[in-house]
Amino acid sequence: MLAPSFLPGPRNRCSSSGATVVPCYNLRPAVFTPSPSARQASSRLQLHPSPPTPAGNQPHQGSETLPLLHLPPLSFTAWTCIPAPIPTTMAHNQDNTKMLPLFQGDYSNKEDPVEWFALFRLAMTKLSDTEKVTCFECQLYPGGLAEEWFTDLDLAEKMSLTDIKNAFIWRWPMMRKPKWSRAQQRERIKDQVLKTEEVGRWIEEEQASDYGQNLWAE
């Protein structure tokens, strides 16, 4: 930066009488030299001329328009939905549960309802009561007899697994096994011979009284 120079004017002289005359200065415009860092910064900016303005909005003479800066286009990032994680307890319980065949409830394929329900309870010991009810409904064969039975139950009859057990036993009661095997029954029948004189004869016994042929048949 150069300081303005002061040049003596025509009046900056001493008169013949020796009196000092007030000097008059001629000022020159200052010249600013930009530094190298300013030149590099200005070279990075891309300047665009301002768009023409309408005739009615012409700026006054002497006013300056600011240059427009060229900015890079905005980029948008695509968002992806992340599913919520499964609770650790529920996922752990599902891994530990055993797979059972679907329950049909029609005694097909040698199906034993009481045995199936016992296996179901053993497989669901680590689940909560609400999860047990949900799993029981999922274990019913679609469109089968058991699913129709479960659908017709009242809401109070399937609130918990205990309620379902009571309704289940009422629908599929435990089959009583015979006291004697088939071989033992044959031997007992052979020993019981119906005599001719006992046919049509009324026989009185301690436990029951009936005709002889009826007592033999029992």
Query: What's residue 73's pLDDT?
Result: 66
**137/198 same-domain check:** no
How many structural domains comprise the chain?
Answer: 2
Confidence of residue 91 (pLDDT cuts 50, 70, 90): very low
Q: Are residues 201 and 156 in the same domain?
A: no
pLDDT 10s digits, 195-210: 666 665 666 665 666 6
- Give 41-66 pLDDT, tens digit per residue: 555 544 455 555 555 555 555 555 66
- Asked whether residue 34 is assigned to any structural domain, the reply reads no
Q: pLDDT tens digit string along 147-167?
A: 999 999 999 999 999 999 999
Q: What does the mean pLDDT of the chain come to?
A: 70
**Percent of the chain beyond pLDDT 70?**
39
Asked if residue 112 belongs to a domain, the reply is yes
| pLDDT interval class at 145 (50, 70, 90) | very high
Residue 184 pLDDT: 72
What is the model's pLDDT at position 176?
73
Shared domain check, 99 and 161: yes
Question: What does the H/E/C string look like for the chain?
Answer: CCCCCCCECCCCCECCCCCECCCCECCCCCCCCCCHHHHHHHHHCCEECCCCCCHHHCCCCCCCCCCEECCCCCCCCCCCCCCCCCCHHHHHHHHHCCCCCCECCCCHHHCCHHHHHHHHHHHCCCCCHHHHHHHHHHCECCCCHHHHHHHHCCHHHHCCHHHHHHHHHHHCCCCCCCCCCHHHHHHHHHHCCCCHHHCCCEEECCCCEEEHHHHHHC
Residue 104 has pLDDT above 70, yes or no: yes
84 — pLDDT class (breaks 50, 70, 90): low
Whether 10 is covered by a domain: the verdict is no
| Residue 106: domain span | 92-171
Give the per-residue pLDDT at 92.
47
Statement to judge: residues 139 and 199 lie in one domain: no
